[in-house]
Amino acid sequence: MTQNISGVYYIYLFTDYSNKINEYTLEGNNIIRSEPFTVIKPDIKPDSLIHVMNIMSGTTLSVRAELINPGQGVYKGNHQSRFYLSNDAILSTKVICS
């Protein structure tokens, strides 16, 4: 299943798709549709950041992030998270490092 969809979908089955079998007057029964089903997605989001309140310049800053999935879908696979260091309370182009 592609990862970029969500919502209600149907599956259709076409028999004799290329119409190679001459079924004469019985051509009208070559398609069947599934019952509707719902594709649900995960919603990975940051929940908290844990770090020290003061650190000396030139030393290592340890940060722990906790992520949650409030979405209905199960997350499978890899994801990427990125930390940014900024001297501004609003994330902007003034990022010091990432």
- pLDDT tens track for 53-68: 888 888 988 999 998 8
- pLDDT tens track for 86-97: 877 887 766 666
Helices and strands (DSSP H and E) totals, the chain: 0, 8
Residues in the chain where the model's pLDDT stays below 70: 1-2, 17-18, 93-98
Q: What pLDDT was estimated at residue 47?
A: 93
CA-CA-CA-CA torsion for 14, 20, 25, 31, nearest 10 degrees?
0
Based on C-alpha coordinates, what's the Rg of the chain? 26
